[in-house]
Amino acid sequence: MAPVILRREITIAWGDCDPAGIVFNPRFFEFFDASTWQLFDLALRVKPHQLNDAYGIIGIPLVDARANFVKAVKFGDAAEIATRATKFGRSSFEIEHRLSVGGELHVEGNETRVWAAKDPADPDRIKGIAFPPGVVAKFGG
């Protein structure tokens, strides 16, 4: 099965930019976070607020994020973000983001997230739990 890839178009708004009209770097992590949630909706057909009912988890918290800024992205650019899950562990997974302008790569991003539930021993804490059967396959993995 081919991997599920979310592709979405965004137009860079002035509010995404610094005074020079170049995207303020932290905004990329917001773009990537939104893409991750949309990928989950596409693959699992479950909205974030439905994850607990569907899978018994409270969410997919971010534990690591990285980006490689290849070229500047500027005000008014029409960008495409391609997002896919690249690796699954017992309870963690890797997400890859590739942001392109005019078909040319400008920013690469990677996230590590955890399939997380409330810790039964301490309800104020969360912990990673194993993926249920069939979840990983829905991402093409």
Six-digit token pair at 28?
């990329």
Position of tokens 């790569």? 105
- Helix, coil or strand: residue 86: strand
Domain 5-139, CATH class in plain words: alpha beta
The one-digit pLDDT tens for each residue of the chain (141 residues) are 689 999 999 999 999 999 999 999 999 999 999 999 999 999 999 999 999 999 999 999 999 999 999 999 999 999 999 999 999 999 999 999 999 999 999 999 999 999 999 999 998 999 999 999 999 999 996
CA dihedral 2, 95, 98, 6 (to 10 degrees): 50
Per DSSP, the residues of 19-44 read TTSBB-THHHHHHHHHHHHHHHHHHH
**Predicted TM-score (pTM) of this structure:** 0.94
